[in-house]
Amino acid sequence: MSGEALGTAEAARTAAEREFDRQMALHGHDIPDDLRPGVLAVHLELKRMTALLRTADLAPEDEPAHVFTFETGPGKD
């Protein structure tokens, strides 16, 4: 990784850490210092996975059964 890319990645992580700290304080969560690195890592991974889920472009028939709905009635199969 180049120095510039490394600096950008570090800046993004620092911004994510500040956001994490702000959210934890906002909701009254006190994360012990020894657990913070692990909790932060999980938080960042969940944010990454959530972003992927929101970009999924699935056809209705590809959705899980409990999500997919369809209309029934006259003229509907």
Q: What is the pLDDT along the chain (77 residues), one digit of tens a residue?
A: 565 666 787 888 788 899 999 999 999 999 999 999 999 999 999 988 888 877 777 777 776 666 656 677 676 55
pLDDT number for residue 57: 76
pLDDT number for residue 13: 78
Unique residue bearing structure tokens 């934890």 = 24
**How far, CA to CA in Å, does 10 sit from each of 6, 7, 23, 47?**
6, 5, 20, 17
